[in-house]
Chains A and B, each alone.
Chain A
Amino acid sequence: MDFINAIILLLNYTVIPALTYGSQLALGAIFVTLVYGILRFANFATGDMMSFGTMVAVLLTFYFQSLGISFGFLPTALLTIPPAILAMIFYMLFIDKFVFSYYRIKKSPPVQLAMVSVGVMFVTQAIIRIIIGPFDRRFFDGEKFILKAKEFKEMTGLNEGLAIKSTQAITIFVTVIVVSIMFWFLNRTKTGTSMRAYSDNEDLALLSGIDPKKVVLITWIIAGILATIGGVLYGLDKSYRPFVYFNNMLPIFAAAIVGGIGNPFGAFLGGYVIAFAEILVTYAYKKFFTYLLPEFMEPDSLMQLLSTDYKFAVSFSILVIVLLFRPSGIFKGKTL
C-alpha cells in the first residue's frame, strides 16, 4: 500500500505537471526548430510571437464571454484558437514579407537574421503591451478539475490523492493530436517531404523544382499553428502575462537545442527532457521516502536537490552539459 501511495504521490506532483509543462515547451520547441531548419535563423521573437497569438485568443475569449457564448464544461478559449491562429499566421506573414524575406533573398548570414528577429521581438512586445497591457490575465473558465484529489481518495481508499486539472488533460491531449498531425504531414505528404528536402539541402531542393516561396509559406503556417496552440495552452494552465512568455523563450530554446536543433522529433522530446529535469531536480522527496523507507530510516531534511528558485537554472545547466558532450543534441540535428 505504501508503495502505491508513493507512486501516486510522484504522479500527482511530478509526472503530470511535467507532462503538461513539457507539452507546452515541446510545441514551442518544434516552432523554434522548424524556423531554424527551414528559414535558417534562431528566432529570438519566439516567446513574443506565442504571446501575440495568445493575446488574440484572450481578447476573443473576453469578447465571447461578454456575448454569453461558452463551450460547455470546456474552456471558451478553445473556441477562440482557430481565429487566433489565423491572426497569428497573418501577423507572421506580414513580418516575413516586410522584414525577413529581404534578408533571405539576399542570403544574409544567420547571425544577421537573428539580430533582425531581436528587432521583431521589440516591436511585437510593444504591440502586445500597447494593446493588452503588461498585466496578469486569467481567461480560464469551465470545469476546473477532471478528477479531484478527494474523489480519488474515496474511490481507491489510498492516503494520497491524485488530482487531474482539466487544463492538464486538455494540454496533453491537444499536444498529442497536433504533433501527430504535424509529423504525418512532414513525413507522409508531398509538401512535407519537400519541406524536409529544403531543410536538408537548399540548392538540391531548388534544382528538383521545389518552390521556395511555398515552403516558406507553409513553414510560417505550421509555425503559427504551433505558436498559438502552445501559447494558449500555457496561458490556460498558468495565466497570461506578456513578460512570462518572453522568459519562456529561454527553456524553449534549451529544449530545441537539447533535442538537436533542426530536428522536430528531437525538439518534441527535448521539451519533455527539460520539463522533467526541472521538476524532478527541484521536487522535495521527503514524503516519498517516508512512504518507502522503514520508520527508523526516515529522512529529516526535505530531500530536495535544489530549491525551486533554481528551476530555470536546471534546464540551462542541462543545455550546457549537452553542448559540452553532444553539441548536435541528443537526437542528431544540424551539425554545428
Chain B
Amino acid sequence: MMQHKNIIAAYSIMILLIIAVGILQSWTIALTILNYCLISAVMTIGANIQWGYAGLINFGIMGYTALGGLAAVLVNVPPVKEAWKAGGLGMVVSLILIISGVYIIRTVLRKFENSKKKNYIVAAIIIIGFVIIRYISGPAIENIEAVDPAKTGFLGGLGLPIIFSWIVGGLFAAGIAFIVGKIALGLRADYLAIATLLIAEIIVSIIKHEDWLARGVKNVIGLKRPVPYEVDLQGSTWFIDLVEKFHSKKLDLITSLSERQDVLNQLVIDASSVYVKLCLAGLFLTVVIILLILTQKALYSPWGRKMRAIRDNEVAANAMGKNVVKEHLLIFILGSAIVGIAGAMMVTNDGLFTPGSYRPMRYTFVIWVMVIVGGTGNNFGAILGGFVVWFLWVEAAPIALFFINFFTSHLEETNALKAHLIQSAAYFRFLLVGIGLLIIMRYRPKGIIPEKINIKKI
C-alpha cells in the first residue's frame, strides 16, 4: 500500500511541476517538455527491461534511437525516382550480395565447425565480398548522390504515413540488436557496456556518412506529421470558434472590435501550437500506456520471474534448466526494439532527422541516469525517472540562472565573474544531473521508486 501512495505522490508532484512551467513560462514550453518526457519514458522502459529485468547493461541506446529515426525517414519520405533510376539497381545488387555473403559465411561456419581453416575462409569471403561490393556500389552511390544534391541525393523512402515508422523503427532496432547480441552478450557486465557503446558509435557513423541512405549529416527535413499543421488550424473556422468560446470571458471585456480581432488572432496562433503538441502528447501517451501494460504483465508473469531468477543468480537459473543465453538475447532484442520505437517517435515529434545530433552524452548516459534515478526493475520508477531527469535537464539552465542572479545580486552587471557564470548557465545541467545521480546512487541505490517483489507466504 505504501508503495502505491509513493508512486501517486511522485507522479502528482511531477505533473504539478509541468503545470507550474506552463503557468510561469508558457504552455508551449510545458507541452514540449511533456512530449520529450513521454519519449524519454519509452526509452527508459526499453533500458529498464534490459537492466532492471535481466541485468544487462546496454550503453548502445544511442544507436537504436538513431535506427528508429532512420526508419522514420525511410517510411515517410516519398521515393526519389531519379535516384532509383540512377543507382537503384547497383544498391539492390549490393544488398543481395551482402545477404548472400552472410549466408555463405553461416554455411561455412557450420561445415567446418572444428577446423582451423574456418577463420581464414571467412576472412577471405569477407575481403573478396568487400572488394566486389565496393566495385558495384561505388558508381551507384556516386550517381545517387549526384541527383539534385541540395534537396535529395538519396534514395528516399516509401512515402507512407510516419506513424508506421514506429513499428518499422522497432523492427530495425530488433534486427540490429540480434546481431549485436550474438556478438557481445557473452561479455562480463562492464565489457558489455563498452562493447555496446562502441558498436552504437559504428551504427551512428554509418548513418552519418552514407549519404545515399538518409542524406547523412545534410539532414532530412520536412517529414510529415501525423497531426494537423498550425497553419491549417489557424485557417479553419471550427478551430477559431473553439478558441473564441474558450476565451469568451476575456474577449467580452474588450470593447473595440479591431482590438478584439487582434487579440483573437494572437490567441488562435498560441492555441494552434498548443493543440498540435497536445495531439502529439496524446499519441505518445497511448504508446507509453500500451508499453507499460505489456511490460507490467510480463514482469509478473512466469517469464518475468524467470528473468529475475536469471538476473539474481545466473548459475542457479542455468542449473534449473533455464536457457540463460537465449533469454538474454531475447530481452536484449525486446529492449532495443522499444528504444527503436522511441527513436522514431522522437523524429516524428521534431519533423526532422539530424544524424549529427546522435551523441552518447544525450542519448545513452542521460537515459541511463533516468533509469537509475527513477528505479531499476520498476517500470513506474523508470518512467518517473524519464520525467524527472528530462525536466531537470531542460529546466536546469533557467534554475541556474535564477540562483546565479540571486547570489551575485550584490555584484555589478559588468563584473567578470557574474558575466562568465551567466554565460555558462547552460552547463549547470551537467552538474545538476551528475550530482543527482551520485546522491541517488549513494543514499537510495534502488532509485526513487524501488523494485518491489511480492513473496507469497504460506
Contact = CB atoms under 8 A, between A and B. Distances in A.
Nearest to B209: A309
A307 interface: yes
B188 interface: yes
Contacts of A323: 183-184, 187, 191, 195
B191 A336 contact: yes
A77 interface: no
Interface stretch (A86-94, A110-118, A157-165, A287-295): A110-118
Among A44, A126, A129, A324, find the residue whose CB has the most chain B CB atoms closer than 10 A.
Answer: A126
A102 B442 CA distance: 8
A115 B372 contact: yes
A110 B189 contact: yes
Contacts of A319: 195, 198
Interface in B164-211: 183-184, 186-191, 193-195, 197-199, 201-202, 205-206, 208-209
Contacts of B198: 250, 253-254, 316, 319-320
Contact of A114 (B186, B193, B201, B361): B193
A41 interface: yes
B183 A310 contact: no
B445 interface: yes
Contact of A122 (B191, B421, B433): B433
Given A115-B372, A116-B438, A307-B209, A316 B190 contact: no
B368 A115 contact: yes
Q: Is the interface of A mostly helix, strand, loop or mixed?
A: helix
Contacts of A246: 361
A119 interface: yes
B38 interface: no
A126 B441 contact: no
A222 interface: no
Among A42, A122, A261, find the residue whose CB has the most chain B CB atoms closer than 10 A.
Answer: A122
B115 to A, nearest CB: 15
A317 B438 contact: no
Interface in A120-155: 120-127, 129-130, 133-134
Contacts of A124: 434
A316 B437 contact: no
Interface string B418-458: 00010110011111011101100110010000000000000
Nearest to B434: A122
Give the interface residue-count category, chain B.
Answer: 35 or more
A218 interface: no
A99 interface: yes
Given A313-B205, A323-B187, A327-B186, A122 B365 contact: yes
A323 B199 CA distance: 12
A44 B434 CA distance: 13
Contact of A313 (B57, B202, B361, B428): B202
Interface residues of A, number: 46
A41 B441 contact: no
B369 interface: yes
A42 B188 CA distance: 11
Given A110-B189, A307-B209, A336-B188, A119 B434 contact: yes
A73 interface: no
Nearest to A251: B198
B361 A115 contact: no
A119 B431 contact: no
Contact of B206 (A99, A313, A336): A313
A112 B187 contact: no
Contacts of B365: 44, 118, 121-122
B430 A129 contact: yes
B301 interface: no
A115 B191 contact: no
Contact of A42 (B119, B190, B429, B433): B190
A123 B368 contact: no
B119 A320 contact: no
Given A42-B194, A111-B190, 4 more contacts: A114-B189, A122-B435, A312-B201, A325-B119
Interface of B: 57, 119, 183-184, 186-191, 193-195, 197-199, 201-202, 205-206, 208-209, 361, 365, 368-369, 372, 421, 423-424, 427-431, 433-435, 437-438, 441-442, 445
20 contacts: A42-B194, A111-B189, A111-B193, A112-B445, A114-B193, A115-B437, A118-B437, A119-B435, A119-B441, A122-B433, A122-B434, A133-B423, A250-B198, A253-B194, A261-B191, A310-B209, A319-B198, A320-B202, A323-B195, A336-B191
Query: Which 10 pairs of residues, A with B, have the shortest CB-CB distance?
Result: A122-B434, A126-B431, A126-B430, A123-B434, A129-B427, A119-B437, A316-B198, A309-B209, A42-B190, A119-B438
